[in-house]
Amino acid sequence: MNLTELNRIATAMVAPGKGILAADESSGTIKKRFDAIGVESTEGNRRDYREMLFRSKEAMSQFISGVILYDETIWQDAKDGTPLVKLIEQSGAIPGIKVDEGTQALPMCPGELVTVGLDKLAERLKKYYERGARFAKWRAVIDIGSGIPSMTAIRVNAHALARYAALCQAAQIVPIVEPEVLMDGDHDIDRCYEVTQRVLNKTFQELRVQRVALEGMVLKPNMAVSGKKCAKQASVEEVAEKTVRLLKACVPAAVPGIAFLSGGQSDEEATAHLNAMHKLGPLPWGLTFSYGRALQAAPQKAWSGKAENVAAGQKAFSHRARMNGLASKGEWQSSLEKKAA
């Protein structure tokens, strides 16, 4: 393992003013997104859509540090025969790959899930590295509800995350460690804070046990937010204050950076929360975004599967990338959204 190189890549992934595009939607997820805009989810349409994003020169070169790909996408070529991985590299961004294989019901723990995909992961990582991937992602899912999460669910998911991270570093690939506490319930922000604290503490305990070099990884956590069904929604300022306090309590300074998931927040909410956190600096690690839907909802709608709309889709993508790039430096203002409207 070359830790110097892993640290260089991890640091580049969280460079000031840039963030990570999560373009790793599963076939089922992207079908739902395409259904919403009236586009058939064929392999060709998925390729064309992602090629549109990766050829968005302004967004990719100025505001995107890396792209998380799905297995199908990393092997695809653009219409002119250029591998999509090469388009990402040519923009100056780093190609990455989602390597988990989804979730299964966790035995003896009703309503809880465990992420799978460790079998033969070492062999898959070698092939992904040869194709150009320099970082990977594994997502653990922790739900909040009546009597959950259990310590069992937290522990087994943290263990799997650490196993994955160690395998990545052995393959000279930077692991994005993503323990996501879902925001789907009716819990308040304090309940989210408490559960996320338990999840992060157990995750870093497992990472240390399995000898993962913290300097060669990136954390992708949820923010401390109210559940979607909670009657009292926390303000932008409260989300920022409690999230920063939580991370300072749980995340060692050796970690180069933290790239938030948007987790179901609206485009502007995710941007505003990230921006507000940077007002609370200085921070011990880089703090940026690793958004999927919050970066892509607008360009998907603008594109709508039509070749004549590619420029409009790229413009929408560039706008959202720029807004989040500004937020990752604490320089975003809501008035900038209105100017672009």
Query: Which residues have a catalytic role annotated?
Result: 178, 220
Q: Within its chain, how far is the Cα of 83 from the centroid?
A: 23
- Angle between the N-to-C axes of helices 43-54 and 293-303, in degrees from 0 to 180, rounded to the nearest 10: 110
Q: How crowded is residue 211: how many other Cβ atoms within 10 Å of its Cβ?
A: 11
Contact by Cβ (8 Å): 73, 50? yes
Cα→Cα distances 108→111, 112, 114, 143, 182, Å: 10, 9, 12, 16, 21
Query: Which pair of tokens denotes residue 254?
Result: 């050796």
Enumerate helices (H) and strands (E) in the chain, giving the number of each.
Answer: 14, 10
Cα→Cα distances 271→102, 275, 322, 325, 334, Å: 27, 6, 10, 9, 9
Q: Token pair 């959202």 is at which residue? A: 320
How would you class 55 by CB atoms within 10 Å of its CB: exposed for 0-12, middle for 13-18, buried for 19 or more?
middle
How many whole angstroms separate alpha carbon 78 and alpha carbon 241?
Answer: 43
How would you class 305 by CB atoms within 10 Å of its CB: exposed for 0-12, middle for 13-18, buried for 19 or more?
middle
DSSP calls for 197-243 = HHHHHHHHHHHHHTT--GGG-EE-PPP----TT-SSPPPHHHHHHHH
